Amino acid sequence: MSERKEIKIDKAELDRQKEIMLRLKENNSMEYQKNGKHKRYFVITLGCQQNVSDSEKIMGMLDEMGYEKTEEREEADVVVINTCCVRENAELKLFGNIGAFKQLKIDNPGLLLCVCGCMMEQEHAVATIKKKYKHVDLVFGTHNLYRFPELIERSMNEKYTLIDIMNTEGFIVEDIPVRREDKFKAWVTIMYGCNNFCSYCIVPHVRGRERSRLPEDIVSEIKQLAADGCKEITLLGQNVNSYGKDLKLEMDFADLIKIVNEIEGVERIRFMTSHPKDISDKLIQTMSECKKVCEQLHLPFQAGSNKVLKAMNRKYTKEEYLEKIEKVKRVLPGVALSTDVIVGFPGETDEDFEETLDVISKVEFDQSFMFIYSKRSGTPAAEMENQINEEQKHRNFERLKKLQADVSKKVNDDYLNRIVEVLVEGPSKNDASKFTGRSRTGKVVNFSGQGELIGQLVNVRITEVFSWFLNGEMEA
Ligand code: SAH
Ligand code: SF4
Ligand code: F3S
């Protein structure tokens, strides 16, 4: 057994939350017997995979409390908005959403409106809600998610907005119920928080320092998933390469992958996100040795100019990044590469931006997630004087988008006539007579096929390629 050095949540505290869930479940079932209607919940998730994963826990707890999920916000008795604050537009989206619920609260005064997640870890956001959005019933943060049952129960009897933001962040809570939307693939968080403090980024400020889950907890979750029929596991963390560093363990992320690779029933392993400064030769080697690890790597480079990278506090140069990519391509032939890029970081000139385009052309990423720099108060970059004007940011953003679309098409052209393994997810969105799924390299593949294929791994010959997806025919 491995040891954790920091505070653990008391088991008694968790048992107390379980009791509350049970009590609410009984209340809800009594109400159902009275009026024949189930109480329902509606959850809006505005952030990244970590946020999605938290929403799965919120839904898991609501299920345990006897609520039913609805896709219609008008039907809901409990609404949870799980916020993000990584860029400004995420904030704007939130206030639009909260505003829209005002009328629904008037129509249904019993409706509980809850707002949680990363943005609620910022004092100014909570203050805005307190002042301007008094129809919100409950506000909580990222560190006290496990206390949701108690908070829901308390807020039912509160006249004013109940606010519960916890400052302690040094623990991990296991055994929170989870509702997974997908049977065949699952995200498994292996660590929380981030220690990197890139100068533009709010995440370390709202998610706290790196905390790794114990390997035995991760493995038992994955074994359970596999027993339930799950085939694809994505190991999740802001910087998975630092897994285990905060624990007194003799193992690192590569060792964790080796263990997961041995779990029966798991067919595919992915992970994200890796930081270029931490990706080790051992990890690259492990990826090539472990058959279940997919030929795919998400490695954000953010910017091509060394001056900008330094100001971003990324701790690598363009040359070092390109060298790592070369190594990855050498050891993992056919690997699909994706990245995150920021356009318009303070001080980024057009010449600096050319370096970003140069990285895109040299690496030939399958996919880039592109963002216009957004000022986050509380981060060092927000204080920098050389902020870039909107016109330049947008102009360069358009150039980047165009280049990446061309590169993606070129990369996908190589797939023509190739046979790829696809994990079938369901009917295709555009054509219900076809199936859709993903290749090991993460490509969306639409294909015609017959039978009960959902959840199966099938071979598909690619007949048509586009920038963002592939079409094909199932092989006999
Ligand atoms: N931990 C992950 C993901 C962080 S957030 C990582 O380091 O890769 C996802 C992406 O949002 C980042 O990679 C970055 O490209 C972008 N991002 C973060 N802060 C931003 C900001 N202030 N403005 C614009 N994009 C930002
Ligand atoms: Fe943000 Fe950097 Fe941490 Fe990623 S590594 S979450 S970009 S601070
Ligand atoms: Fe994710 Fe947004 Fe929080 S990107 S970690 S939900 S600030």
CATH of the domain at 465: 2.40.50.140
Cβ(373) – ligand 1 distance below 6 Å? yes
Cβ(276)–Cβ(299) under 8 Å?
A: yes
Number of the ligand closest to the Cα of 94 = 3
Say yes or no: 190 and 154 in one domain.
no
Alpha carbon separation from 127 to 130, 134, 161, 418, 431 (Å, rounded): 5, 11, 11, 56, 47
The Cα 291–Cα 293 span in angstroms is: 6
The Cα 219–Cα 259 span in angstroms is: 8
Which residues on adjacent β-strands are paired with residue 459? 421
Say yes or no: 198 and 98 in one domain.
no
- Residue of the CA atom closest to atom 19 of ligand 1: 201
Residue 2 counted as domain residue: no
CATH of the domain at 138: 3.40.50.12160
Structure confidence by residue, pLDDT tens digits, 243-280: 999 887 889 999 999 999 999 999 999 999 999 999 99
Q: Are strands 191-192 and 211-212 parallel, antiparallel or unpaired?
A: antiparallel
Structure confidence by residue, pLDDT tens digits, 390-422: 999 999 999 999 999 999 999 999 999 999 999
Residue 6 has pLDDT above 70, yes or no: no
Exposed / middle / buried, residue 232 (Cβ in 10 Å: 0-12, 13-18, 19+) = buried
Cβ(92)–Cβ(213) under 8 Å?
A: no
Number of the ligand closest to the Cα of 209 = 2
Say yes or no: 197 and 137 in one domain.
no
- From 411, 309, 294, 310, select the one nearest 360 (Cα to Cα): 411
**Count of structural domains within the chain:** 3
Q: Residues lining ligand 2, judged by CB closer than 6 Å?
A: 194, 196-198, 201, 203-204, 238-239, 275
The Cα 268–Cα 165 span in angstroms is: 37
pLDDT of 8 reads: 59
Cβ(194)–Cβ(239) under 8 Å?
A: yes
pLDDT of 168 reads: 67
Say yes or no: 220 and 154 in one domain.
no
Run of H or E including 299: none
Say yes or no: 35 and 151 in one domain.
yes
Report the predicted TM-score, pTM, of the whole model to 2 decimal places: 0.93
The Cα 171–Cα 218 span in angstroms is: 15
Of 172 and 104, the structure prediction assigns the larger pLDDT to 104
Tokens representing 17 are: 């939350």
Angle, helices 350-363 vs 318-331, to 10°: value is: 10
Q: Supply the DSSP symbol for 387.
A: P
Residue 394 counted as domain residue: no
Say yes or no: 33 and 103 in one domain.
yes
Say yes or no: 133 and 215 in one domain.
no
The Cα 460–Cα 444 span in angstroms is: 12
- Residue of the CA atom closest to atom 2 of ligand 2: 198
Cβ(87) – ligand 1 distance below 6 Å? yes
Residue 303 counted as domain residue: no
Q: What is the whole-number distance in angstroms between the Cα of residue 86 and the centre of ligand 1? A: 7
Exposed / middle / buried, residue 349 (Cβ in 10 Å: 0-12, 13-18, 19+) = middle
Say yes or no: 75 and 187 in one domain.
no
Q: What is the whole-number distance in angstroms between the Cα of residue 238 and the centre of ligand 2? A: 7
Residue 226 counted as domain residue: yes
- From 82, 72, 152, select the one nearest 112 (Cα to Cα): 152
Structure confidence by residue, pLDDT tens digits, 102-139: 889 989 888 999 999 999 999 999 999 999 999 999 99
Number of the ligand closest to the Cα of 345 = 1
Residue 3 has pLDDT above 60, yes or no: no
Structure confidence by residue, pLDDT tens digits, 24-77: 999 999 999 998 989 999 999 999 999 999 999 999 999 999 999 999 999 999
Closest atom of ligand 3 relative to the 46 alpha carbon: 6
The residue segments making up the domain with residue 436 are: 419-474
Q: What is the whole-number distance in angstroms between the Cα of residue 122 and the centre of ligand 2? A: 17
pLDDT of 9 reads: 65
Q: Provide DSSP, 200-264.
A: T--HHHHH-S-EEPPHHHHHHHHHHHHHTT--EEEEE-TTGGGTTTTTT-S--HHHHHHHHHTST
Say yes or no: 85 and 218 in one domain.
no
Q: Provide DSSP, 169-216.
A: ------------S-SSEEEEE-EE------TT--HHHHH-S-EEPPHH
The Cα 368–Cα 386 span in angstroms is: 26
Last residue of a domain, one of 294, 329, 364: 294
Q: Average pLDDT, stretch 371-381? A: 96
Cβ(357)–Cβ(316) under 8 Å?
A: no
Q: What is the whole-number distance in angstroms between the Cα of residue 194 and the centre of ligand 2? A: 6
- From 261, 224, 465, 467, select the one nearest 368 (Cα to Cα): 467
pLDDT of 468 reads: 86
pLDDT of 170 reads: 65
Given phi > 0 = left and psi -120 to 50 = alpha, else beta, which region is 451?
Answer: left
Residue 310 counted as domain residue: no
Residue 139 counted as domain residue: yes
Residue 172 counted as domain residue: no
Which residues on adjacent β-strands are paired with residue 296? 336
Closest atom of ligand 3 relative to the 90 alpha carbon: 2
CATH of the domain at 208: 3.30.750.210
Say yes or no: 15 and 160 in one domain.
yes
Q: What is the mean pLDDT of the chain?
A: 93
Closest atom of ligand 3 relative to the 142 alpha carbon: 3
Of 136 and 175, the structure prediction assigns the larger pLDDT to 136
Q: What is the whole-number distance in angstroms between the Cα of residue 194 and the centre of ligand 3? A: 11
Q: What is the whole-number distance in angstroms between the Cα of residue 377 and the centre of ligand 3? A: 15
- From 429, 430, 415, select the one nearest 460 (Cα to Cα): 415
Residue 186 counted as domain residue: yes
Q: Average pLDDT, stretch 460-465? A: 96
**Confidence grade of residue 181 (pLDDT, cut at 50, 70, 90):** confident
Q: Average pLDDT, stretch 284-295? A: 97
Tokens representing 350 are: 């057009």
Say yes or no: 49 and 75 in one domain.
yes
- From 160, 85, 178, select the one nearest 125 (Cα to Cα): 85
Say yes or no: 146 and 254 in one domain.
no
Phi, psi of 356, deg, nearest 5: -65, -45
Number of the ligand closest to the Cα of 298 = 1
Last residue of a domain, one of 294, 323, 347: 294
Q: What is the whole-number distance in angstroms between the Cα of residue 203 and the centre of ligand 2? A: 6
Last residue of a domain, one of 164, 194, 226: 164
- From 180, 146, 158, select the one nearest 59 (Cα to Cα): 180
